[in-house]
């Protein structure tokens, strides 16, 4: 079974967030299921620099404003088709934003080109390889069903919603430039609130919809989390399923991690905790060392953490944070780091993230919404007890330390609800109380390290979904 995965980012070639981790992990995870997955990815400068031994497999004299070609390259764990279109992708800044921090004004065309090329591959194939199914990721791949419709192709499609907050909205004046059928610009098509919505095109047109946790699948049908599309999601409930993300258990393995002092038991964390405190300039403490590795944003609930931080510090806890994002939050956390029990590093450092998760006693994820979340999975894998909001994938992956769960010996972390400052303060107080009970806390850490966080179950679910599509087709 051949599947083309269409995405805007993919590790190890380019990454801005968890989407890239998922896209990069799926091909290897699906191979044992009999699925040959290849990835179609834009040719950003970082991608072009990383590709070698490429083979030119398709060309286009005018792809949304300039010439383009598709290169076939080998990445470490997957075959990748790179869409080289310098007029669209060869530019400084991040892959979505210009140097001024704003969206590139031609983002609609940039990702329409990716979708157009995916539809062409579905129609023509690449050599002898032609996909049976197209797996689309977020709004950047959302226009693929429209282009398949225009080509009268019935290739089944799966759209995975990694984050409903981003719609890929564009001015309707761009409809001709985007090569869209103007007759489809209506509420039952790709129109949303008077604008073109690439995400809605996918939500309407994809054969099946998935998202990255069962709880988030339900949440998307509610006004609170549906981001204006809750009604549409309710109408498509029968086509929607939630499949949890996993993590790369080879890259994230405390027993064989070159970035840390390796360990296979929670007792081995002591050396990493001492080393982390020394590296970050934190003093010894009898309370829990809490870590945050995150994009700094209100979605992640980190403004709530700032307000709740005095509660953690008052009970002897410490905070080490690694992340970047909202400038106001960056400044506020740097200001909080004036306290000797708070350490903040603005930016991102992959090796440091491993050292922080290995050295932390707990990892804090107070997100207002979280489709799946990966950092709590890293925490589980490393015996770093997650303290999480009861939402999305956080609700599906952490067993709350309720009295019943503690008595049964199955708790792996702490959950709090509602997502408020007071509830977070209470969770941090509970964390400190549990940490003071060394026996109970060690049991939680051991449970966490046994939690299933890999891709086996999720890969089987995706493979079953693809097979069902082909069977029904």
For residue range 36-79, list pLDDT tens digits in order.
999 999 999 999 998 876 788 999 999 999 999 999 998 777 88
Average pLDDT score, the chain: 96
Q: What is the pLDDT of residues 232-250, one digit of tens each?
A: 999 999 999 999 999 989 9
Task: State yes or no: cis peptide before 418, omega within 30 of 0.
Answer: yes
Q: Give the pLDDT confidence score for residue 59 in this predicted structure.
A: 95
Average pLDDT over residues 25-37: 96
What are the residue boundaries of the structural domains of the chain, listed by start? Answer: 2-246+456-472, 254-450
In whole angstroms, what is the distance from residue 202 CA to residue 69 CA?
25
Residue 377 is predicted with a pLDDT of 98
Q: Which residues lie below 8 Å from residue 218, measured CB to CB, with a gap of 6+?
A: 242
Say which range, 69-83, 195-209, 341-355, 376-390, has the weakest mean pLDDT. Answer: 69-83
pLDDT at 220 over 80: yes
* β-strand pairing of 385-389 with 362-365: parallel
24: Cα within 13 Å, side-chain hemisphere: 18
By C-alpha distance, which of 182, 104, 192, 109 is closest to 146?
A: 182
> How does 182-205 read in b/e, with b if 16+ C-beta sit within 10 Å?
eebeeeebbbbeebbbbbbbbbbb
The CATH fold of domain 254-450: Rossmann fold (3.40.50)
Kindly tell me if the per-residue pLDDT of 413 is higher than 90.
yes
Report whether 2 belongs to an annotated binding site.
Answer: no
Question: What pLDDT does 315 receive?
Answer: 96
How far is Cα 344 from Cα 339, in angstroms, rounded to an integer? 11
Task: Point out the least confidently predicted range of 96-100, 300-304, 467-471.
Answer: 96-100
**Cβ–Cβ < 8 Å for 57, 63:** no
pLDDT of residue 473: 63
Domain 2-246+456-472: CATH superfamily is Glycogen Phosphorylase B; (3.40.50.2000)
Cβ partners under 8 Å of residue 405, min gap 6: 399, 411
Q: How far apart are CA 432 and CA 288, in angstroms?
A: 7
Mean pLDDT of 419-442: 98
- Given this chain, do its domains 2-246+456-472 and 254-450 carry the same CATH topology? yes
For residue 270, pLDDT beyond 90? yes
Average pLDDT over residues 199-207: 98
For residue range 102-150, list pLDDT tens digits in order: 899 999 999 999 999 999 999 999 989 999 999 999 999 999 999 999 9
Size (the chain), residues: 473
CA atoms within 13 A on the CB side of 169: 9
Q: What pLDDT is attached to residue 17? A: 82
Q: Is the pLDDT of residue 421 over 80?
A: yes
pTM as predicted: 0.93
Task: Give per-residue pLDDT as tens, 331-379.
Answer: 999 999 999 999 999 998 999 999 999 999 999 999 999 999 999 999 9
pLDDT on residue 135: 98
51-60, 217-226, 397-406: least confidently modelled range: 51-60
Q: What is the pLDDT of residue 321?
A: 98
Q: What is the predicted pLDDT for the residue at 53?
A: 64
pLDDT at 101: 82
Flag whether pLDDT at 288 surpasses 70: yes
Q: What's the pLDDT at 420?
A: 98
**How much of the chain exceeds pLDDT 70, in percent?**
99
């Amino acid at each position: 079974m051949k599947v083309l995965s269409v995405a805007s980012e993919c590790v190890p070639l380019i990454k801005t967030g968890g989407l890239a981790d998922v896209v990069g992990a799926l091909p290897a995870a699906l191979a044992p299921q009999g699925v040959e997955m290849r990835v179609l990815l834009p040719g950003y400068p970082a991608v072009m620099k990383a590709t070698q031994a490429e083979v030119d497999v398709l060309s286009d004299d005018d792809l949304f404003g300039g010439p383009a070609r598709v290169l076939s390259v080998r990445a470490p764990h997957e075959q990748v088709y790179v869409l080289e279109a310098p007029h669209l992708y060869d530019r400084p800044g991040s892959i979505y934003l210009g140097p001024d921090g704003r969206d590139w004004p031609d983002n609609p065309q940039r990702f329409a080109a990716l979708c157009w090329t995916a539809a062409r591959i579905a129609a023509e194939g690449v050599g002898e390889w032609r996909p049976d199914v197209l797996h689309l990721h977020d709004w950047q791949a959302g226009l693929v069903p429209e282009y398949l419709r225009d080509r009268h192709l019935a290739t089944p499609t799966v759209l995975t919603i990694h984050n409903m907050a981003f719609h890929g909205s564009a001015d309707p004046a761009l409809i001709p430039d985007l090569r869209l059928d103007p007759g489809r610009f209506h509420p039952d098509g790709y129109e949303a609130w008077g604008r073109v919505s690439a995400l809605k095109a996918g939500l309407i047109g994809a054969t099946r919809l998935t998202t990255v946790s069962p709880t988030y699948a339900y949440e998307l049908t509610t006004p609170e989390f549906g981001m204006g599309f809750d009604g549409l999601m309710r109408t498509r409930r029968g086509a929607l399923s939630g499949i949890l993300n996993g993590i790369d258990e080879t890259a994230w393995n405390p027993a064989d991690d070159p970035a840390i002092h390796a360990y296979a038991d929670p007792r081995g964390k002591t050396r990493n905790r001492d080393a982390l405190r020394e590296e970050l300039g934190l003093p010894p403490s009898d309370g829990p060392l809490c870590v945050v590795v995150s994009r700094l944003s209100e979605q992640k609930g980190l403004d709530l953490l700032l307000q709740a931080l005095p509660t953690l510090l008052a009970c002897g806890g410490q905070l080490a944070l690694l992340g970047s994002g909202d400038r106001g939050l960056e400044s506020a956390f740097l200001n909080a780091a004036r306290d000797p029990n708070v350490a903040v590093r603005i930016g991102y450092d992959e090796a440091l993230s491993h050292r922080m998760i290995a050295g932390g006693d707990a990892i804090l994820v107070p997100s207002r919404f979280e489709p799946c979340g990966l950092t709590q999975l890293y925490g589980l894998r490393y015996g770093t007890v997650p303290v999480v909001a009861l939402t999305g994938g956080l609700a599906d992956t952490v067993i709350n330390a309720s009295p019943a769960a503690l008595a049964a010996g199955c708790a792996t972390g702490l959950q709090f609800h509602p997502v408020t400052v007071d509830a977070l303060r209470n969770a941090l107080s509970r964390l400190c109380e549990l940490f003071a009970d060394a026996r109970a806390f060690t049991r939680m850490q051991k449970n966490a390290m046994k939690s299933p966080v890999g891709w086996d179950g999720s890969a089987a679910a995706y493979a079953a979904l693809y097979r069902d599509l082909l069977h029904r087709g």
